[in-house]
Chain A
Amino acid sequence: MGVLKIVEYSKTEFLIACASSHVRDGENVFGGTGMPLLAALLAKETHAPKSNLISEAGFIDARPREVPLSVADTRYYYGCSAAIGLIETLGFLLQAGRIDVGFLGAAQIDEYGNLNTSYIGPYDAPKVKLPGSGGGNDIASSAKRLIIMMAHDKRKFLKKLDYMTSPGYLDGPGAREKWSLVGGGPEVVITDMCQMDFDPDTKKIGLKSVHPGFTVQDIQDNVMFDLIIPDDVPTTEEPTQKQLDIMKKLDPKGIYLGKGG
């Protein structure tokens, strides 16, 4: 007799588990806060126990006992191997090519994975001033791999950004090399509808997998550029009960998981 397995999860939990699967064991990871932080911690608790979580404020090899609200939150301190500063993390580690994977979010993305976190509307008369680069441009320039997490909204997946804060593949093949960028560029984009990745030759964005409950057509209807659609698009793997249990332990107050986990 087979065992019927029904795992219930929220959208946030699904995205965290999905992001976590891209962290490999032994990697140096820029985790930040929010969903990326929980994804990095989940990876460490499951398939990547030797991964090293770093916060750009200066915390190295972090194991926070409570989730930090800020990259500089003291909640990051206890359990670290080292607490130093910005030149250490963004300079000696990141710019020197020692960071394997970084996470970024954005308000807008284009077909080459370039990101806008600075302005909505024209630069000279912006409608909305967004947070800016922070360490985002540094991470996108110099991390070996970049994982992008975004809310899926047609107005965010554009042919042309209002402002390019952080480099994906810029204007295509050879562009990162032309500007001597240290890092390799974006590997995957995780949205609440799908995962996207980049064609190794054209550097253009394509569909990688579709989350349960969505169709390829849904995704095509919700981007403003041509999306490469492979013949066979798999369904994104769902989180396991073990992953869900660990997430609840990592964020028992639901600070990032939200009410009801």
Chain B
Amino acid sequence: MTEAEVEDKRITLAEAAKMVGDGDGLFWGGFGYQRPPIAFAHELVRQKKRNLTVYTCGSEVDLEIMAGAGVATRYEIAFSAIEALGLSYNIRRRVSEGKLAVEDYSNLAMAMRFLGGALNVPFMPIRSMMGTDMVNLRRYRGDDKLKVMDCPFTGDKICIVPSIQPDFSIVHVQRVDKLGNAQIDGIVGEDLEGSRCGKKLIVLAEELIDTTEVLTRPDQTKIPAMYVDHVVVLPYIAHPMMCHDYYDYDLEHLQMFHEMTRTEEGWQEYLDNYILGVDDHHGYLNLVGWDNLHKLHATKPWGY
């Protein structure tokens, strides 16, 4: 292939978010404090998306932002809180107001739903959730939340969960080339399955690398380019959370965020200042301050 024929999948964050339509479903990458695509959540808010359904195991700040700003109205998730700090106040308020419906699954159940979607099979069997209210109580999915059946081979009880093939998979990685070969360092969480289950995959990466670099360390390519539709390259995509080997979490900002979300007024102030009050991700980073961001830079060999 000559140089001219090489496809360049890079687009801007705004262009990527523009593709998401109101009412769409999104697989949401990252796990806990690690690699959440928070910059993408900010842009969905700035573009005033509505009625999104978000599928993930457990995200924290990003789920708070999308629930708080009214971008997402349905979550199919296993976990929402800010680990070590406390409850997710925005989600708690939106659930109590009836503006957010949460269909509850376990972490393994969600990971298996992504695996089923990626494998293009309609459901996956799992051994969790049986006997509890996770099975008995359902919201908008009703009968389609899950089923408990007798295994056709052994006769044992087994839980089957519906696979997911959402409109988009949104995944944040450390490095990518312009073709979309995406490299993840550290744990992958549920991102291998999640990146392959969506109808379209948008990869957000901290760093652009040349394809030659991909070829020297192909084992680090956790998502080959053939799956990837679009690539967005930006620094500090996960701030105030962490990105393995790139930067640590910003505990001061995280505590401020959590404290402000205690009240609706506090949350609206954060929203106005840090998300709606800036034009784009660079505006957000300028507001957080580059002195602060540089302090978060990871130290080798610890990776944070």
Q: Could you tell me which A residues sit within 8 Å of B by CB distance?
A: 33-34, 56-59, 65, 69-75, 77-78, 83-87, 90-91, 94-95, 114, 118, 123, 125-138, 141-142, 163-167, 170, 175-176, 178-182, 255
Contact = CB atoms under 8 A, between A and B. Distances in A.
Given A94-B108, A132-B77, A176-B131, 17 more contacts: A34-B84, A69-B84, A72-B31, A74-B304, A86-B57, A87-B115, A95-B108, A129-B91, A132-B78, A135-B79, A135-B106, A135-B107, A135-B108, A136-B106, A142-B128, A164-B132, A179-B130
A58 B222 CA distance: 15
Given A138-B106, A141-B127, A129 B92 contact: yes
Nearest to B36: A72
20 contacts: A65-B302, A72-B187, A72-B189, A75-B304, A78-B303, A84-B187, A85-B192, A86-B31, A86-B107, A95-B108, A95-B128, A128-B92, A128-B96, A130-B81, A134-B78, A137-B106, A138-B107, A175-B131, A180-B127, A181-B130
Contacts of B81: 130-131
Contacts of B190: 85-87
B244 A74 contact: yes
A136 B80 CA distance: 13
B111 A163 contact: no
Nearest to B86: A131
Contacts, number: 198
A73 B303 contact: no
Given A72-B32, A74-B242, A126-B96, A33 B84 contact: yes
Nearest to A78: B302
Contacts of B96: 125-129
A74 B302 contact: yes
Contacts of A91: 108, 111-112
Contacts of A181: 127, 130-131
Given A65-B302, A74-B242, A90 B107 contact: yes
B92 A170 contact: no
A99 B213 CA distance: 38
Contacts of B58: 132, 134
B186 A86 contact: no
Contact of A131 (B79, B130, B298): B79
Nearest to B83: A70
Contacts of A163: 133, 137
B33 A137 contact: no
Contacts of A118: 104, 133
A95 B302 contact: no
Nearest to B298: A74
Kindly list the 4 A-B residue pairs having the minimum CB-CB distance in the complex, ordered from nearest.
A72-B32, A58-B187, A70-B33, A134-B79
B97 to A, nearest CB: 10
Contacts of B137: 123, 163
A165 B193 contact: no
B234 interface: no
B249 interface: yes
Interface string B124-153: 001111111110010000000000100000
A165 B248 CA distance: 32
B165 interface: no
A133 B31 contact: no
B132 A165 contact: yes
A239 B303 CA distance: 34
Contacts of A33: 83-84
B32 A70 contact: yes
A75 B193 CA distance: 24
Contact of B157 (A58, A123, A129, A179): A179
B87 interface: yes
Contact of B188 (A56, A58, A142): A58
Interface string B271-304: 0000000000000000000000000001001111
B111 A86 contact: yes
Contact of B126 (A59, A95, A127): A95
A133 B249 contact: no
Contact of B189 (A58, A94, A134, A176): A58
Interface string B94-130: 0110000010111111011001000000000011111
